[in-house]
Amino acid sequence: MSTPNIQDRSLLILILDLTPKTWGKRAQIRNLSDKQRASQNKGSMGPATLNEVLNALLSFLIAFSSCHRDNTVIVIGVAGKETAVLHPRKDRLEDVMGVSSLDKSMDLIEMRDGIMLGVTELVNQCVENSSKEGYIDRGTAIAAATSLGLCLINRVMKSATAGSSLLEENSLFRRKEDEGILGMISAKLNKEGENATKFAAEQRLAQRRARGMLSPRMLIVQASEDCTLDYNAFMNCVFAAIKNDVVIDGCFLSSPNMPETSTFLEQATDRSGGVYSKPKGTAQIFGGLTEVLMTVFLPPLGIRNDLNLPKVTEVDFRARCFETGESLDMGFVCNLCLSIFKNEPSGDYCLTCGAKNTSMNGQDSGLRIEGLKDSDEKKESEDSSQARKKARTTA
């Protein structure tokens, strides 16, 4: 019996959008569309309901778990501003963090039942909290779920290596069995004319082989529109994932009269080297979504370069207004929390962090909101800006 290839082992963090408001609206759109098409003797055109999406995801997770005996799955649900780990259950989460659990086959029935129970509990909790007086709907907390996923990845990696984090910088590793590999790759990096990016990938692969590392990746399945207030937090998670070699895949489930795509997911997948897909219509129903998940997101990272996977040719990297959600080329930026606004916020306070700000016309990077304490500091800043502009003109 052949020994499994260690680089094929994967750790998958699945983040699932379960916001009741979004899925309720999709169900209404589906029912109305089906009635209209039934009167014309035509079949359904979607969008997919929550039950259909869950069935497709369960099939995908079973296939993923069957690809390698050491593949590990953690499912995170996000409903409104509530996030929770759906699988494994709380009493079994510590088992996943242990090395011994990686050598045990996953109980697929237990996984299915645990996910369905977790979905029910999380949705009920979201509905209960949203019905309370004073509740403010701030969108879906995808950023919080992504941050939780990165934390869980780090915990799993530490457990698999007896407490040594596999997401730390190379200089922090001190184990003797690693010195030869890292030294060899460092020597290669010093060769003239060699591609540094190529050897960086080889270095990461060597680290994984030396430590028996699971290859971490995240799959975000989103149906709600982007939460502009979470832009900074989400992009910080993306940068952390890139630094730690965690690939982010994105699947956006569009619907009529709702956003057709997620610019946040597009940016995340493009920057982290992941795959982005936005199935529409019948691609979400009648097994279509299962096919998309199997063909696009199931292949391990090592063979993706040999496959014809969907690619986003144009990614909109423009900033988004935290108030209106519009893409901006120029706007107002809070110098404390870096929130971006199309129009200068009314009053003297940032709408995001509440910091007191005084506006000024910045010459270098468009209009900014500068947190100046008094008029003297404001005048000094304006004089400095004008001096820099004059110096550039003279030069």
Taken in order 316, 321, 326, 329, the sign of the CA dihedral is negative
Q: Is the pLDDT of residue 374 over 80?
A: no
340 Cβ contact list (under 8 Å, min separation 6)? 231, 319, 320, 321, 322, 328, 331, 332, 333, 334
* Strands 215-222, 10-17: pairing kind: parallel
Quick one: average pLDDT of 261-269? 91
List the single range of 110-119, 238-247, 275-284, 314-323 with lowest mean pLDDT: 314-323
Q: Please, are residues 290 and 57 in contact by the beta-carbon 8 Å criterion? A: no
Q: For residue 68, give both structure tokens.
A: 């390698």
pTM: 0.74
Quick one: average pLDDT of 112-120? 90
Indicate the CATH number for domain 6-168+188-306.
Answer: 3.40.50.410
Question: Which stretch of DSSP H or E encloses residue 20?
Answer: helix 20-38
Q: Is the pLDDT of residue 28 over 80?
A: yes
Size of the chain, expressed as the number of residues it contains? 395
Quick one: average pLDDT of 219-229? 90
Q: How confident is the model at residue 362 (pLDDT cuts 50, 70, 90)?
A: very low
Separation of alpha carbons 257 and 262, rounded Å: 14
pLDDT reported for residue 160:
61
Residue 137 carries which side chain, given as an amino acid letter?
D
* Higher-pLDDT residue of 288, 343: 288
State the chain's mean pLDDT as an integer. 75
Share of residues in the chain with pLDDT > 70 (%): 69
**Domain range list for the chain:** 6-168+188-306, 319-394
pLDDT reported for residue 222:
95
Q: Is the pLDDT of residue 1 over 80?
A: no
List the single range of 50-54, 193-197, 372-376 with lowest mean pLDDT: 372-376
Quick one: average pLDDT of 71-97? 81
Q: Please, are residues 346 and 381 in contact by the beta-carbon 8 Å criterion? A: no
Taken in order 146, 151, 152, 157, the sign of the CA dihedral is positive
* Strands 327-328, 319-320: pairing kind: antiparallel
Q: Is the pLDDT of residue 130 over 70?
A: yes
The three-state secondary structure class of 334 is strand
The neighbouring-strand residues paired with 269 are: none
Q: How confident is the model at residue 210 (pLDDT cuts 50, 70, 90)?
A: very low
Q: Is the pLDDT of residue 380 over 50?
A: no
Quick one: average pLDDT of 95-106? 48
* Higher-pLDDT residue of 258, 174: 258
Whose CA is closest to 11, among 238, 310, 303, 301?
Answer: 301
pLDDT reported for residue 94:
57
Encode pLDDT of 266-276 as tens digits. Answer: 999 998 989 99
Q: Is the pLDDT of residue 313 over 80?
A: no
pLDDT reported for residue 101:
44
In degrees rounded to 5, what are phi and psi of residue 292?
-60, -45
Residue 113 carries which side chain, given as an amino acid letter?
D
Quick one: average pLDDT of 373-379? 41
The three-state secondary structure class of 246 is coil
Quick one: average pLDDT of 284-306? 90
370 Cβ contact list (under 8 Å, min separation 6)? 335, 357, 358, 359, 360, 362, 378, 381
Q: For residue 318, give both structure tokens.
A: 């423009």
Q: How confident is the model at residue 201 (pLDDT cuts 50, 70, 90)?
A: low
Task: For residue 130, give the DSSP letter.
Answer: H
Q: Is the pLDDT of residue 315 over 90?
A: no
pLDDT reported for residue 265:
92
The three-state secondary structure class of 284 is helix
Helix 108-130 to helix 50-67 angle (10° resolution) is 140
Separation of alpha carbons 335 and 340, rounded Å: 10
